Structure 1
């Protein structure tokens, strides 16, 4: 019964997670993030990363909810954490679509924490569908970076000068901190390390290539992308769980 309840909660949360931003963009105004652009926000095309994230999360949810997957140890370890990540991401999207952007800097770090718990629990042992480590890695890699951007966007929404020296310095420091955290997670992951690296390095690399961003931001983004890529290239045998 516990496996069935968890599977139902996971399926419901994943459906809301995928449907809310897509339906909002189709029938409403969507997530009004452009109004709060920051010096560390990736370019618009970088957000196509959500396509593989959604696809992997759907596939992982289907695998965990199938009768053969409900009782799998990985499903049991990660199901509730992924449910939390999906629900909080849904809440973030709703807040961004309904002029409640002031709440988003608190929601996205919480969603990232849930994704981090799921990713850590994937490392606990074999089992589960191969797509589960991929989904947790992709989701964690992107939301870890997005959390940093969202904190900066919250400051802009509160009235900060988006291109002022303090915002540039704070944003640069935020990228360095986020990159260091992700690179460490990649280096110590036995499962899902490459997807984790790909989603975060993609966001950083596209930011580094955005010419109208401050030089310090572009350099920090490039260095972060390089560090994460190098961590992913380490032999699996040298990574620690």
Structure 2
């Protein structure tokens, strides 16, 4: 776990462009910049990574404390958590080296691993603060990854020359946002205490998509408003799912 965390943090430093390489928004010719597509969040959205990395550090400390080998929750999530950290670093490397199609496969794999981790963790007993640490850490991670996956796929398609035109592009953007809402609802019914952490970073990402489309290029009132509606719908669907789960 410690090795995976080190790889993840080093990948984050690489992705930030502090030492080598370029920031993600500038790498690969700016394919993932804030003005690349209708689904690109404004640049400030990516500050959420500092929160996610901090949570991953807390999780790693928790997971490596003495006695965790006997903790059912720690055993359940261990390898999945390590895999998610390594995949995050691989994703950043694929962007830095301009292997954009590979980045889609990696981020889809990352989202799948995080989803499986939280589904498996749901209902497993953990000692002390374990359930909260796991739920918050990987809920935030999965919520943001879900939004980033949509932005990543759109960016790679545009970079490859796919240009459906403004009207179709806006309609596709709205459709993708609707799918995000559906995904939030499905997760909310299956990931237990992590559901609110998931929706927190989903709403964060959608809000910054709205900011980007309503105040920056490419401007789109349709996608901007749809992102705001999707953010509100995500919160509502999570609340409804939470109530349904409590009653069942």
Q: Which category describes the TM-score, using the shorter chain as reference length? A: 0.7 to 0.9
CA distance in 2, matches of 1:235, 1:179: 12
Change (3 A) 1:111 1:233: same
Q: Following the alignment from structure 2 to structure 1, what is the Cα–Cα distance between the partners of residues 164 and 2?
A: 39
Residues 187 and 231 of structure 1 are in contact (CA less than 8 Å); yes or no, is this contact kept in structure 2?
A: no
Q: Any unmatched runs of 5+ in structure 1?
A: 1-9
After TM superposition, give the deviation of residue 237 of structure 1 in Å: 5.4
Relative to structure 1, the CA distance from residue 105 to residue 23 in structure 2 (aligned partners, 3 Å threshold; closer, same or farther) is closer
- 164-173 or 143-152, which deviates more: 164-173
Q: Distance in 1 between matches of 2:90 and 2:222?
A: 33
For normalisation by structure 2, the TM-score amounts to: 0.85
**Per-residue CA shift, 1:167-218, capped at 9, x if unaligned?**
3332221221122111331244321121111011110012123313312211
Which residue of 202, 214, 220 maps to 2:220?
Answer: 214
Cα distance change, pair 192–121 in 1 and its aligned pair in 2 (3 A): same
Structure 2 alignment gaps of length 5 or more: none
CA contact (8 A) 2:122 2:190 kept: no
Q: Which residue, 135, 140, 143 being the options, matches 2:142?
A: 140
The question of whether the paired residues in 2 share the 8 Å contact of 1:208 and 1:219 is answered with: yes
Query: Is the CA contact (8 Å cut-off) linking 2:184 and 2:237 kept in structure 1?
Result: no
Partner in structure 2 of residue 231 of structure 1: 237
Q: Distance in 2 between matches of 1:206 and 1:30?
A: 18
Deviations 1:92-138 (A, max 9, x none): 10011122223111110110000001111221222151211111100
**Residue 14 of structure 1: aligned partner:** 5
The offset of 1:159, in angstroms, is 1.4
Q: Give the corresponding residue for 2:92.
A: 93
SS in 1 for 2:45: helix
Q: Secondary structure at the match of 1:239?
A: helix
Shift of 1:61: 1.4
CA–CA distance in structure 1, aligned partners of residues 244 and 222 of structure 2? 32
1:170 equivalent in structure 2: 172
Cα distance in 2, alignment partners of residues 63 and 194 from structure 1: 21
- 1: distance between equivalents of 2:93 and 2:112? 19
1:238 Cα shift? 3.3
Matched, 1:35 2:31: yes
1:96, 1:104 within 8 Å by CA — same for their partners in 2?
A: yes
Residue number in structure 1 paired with 2:186: 184
| Superposition RMSD in Å | 2.1
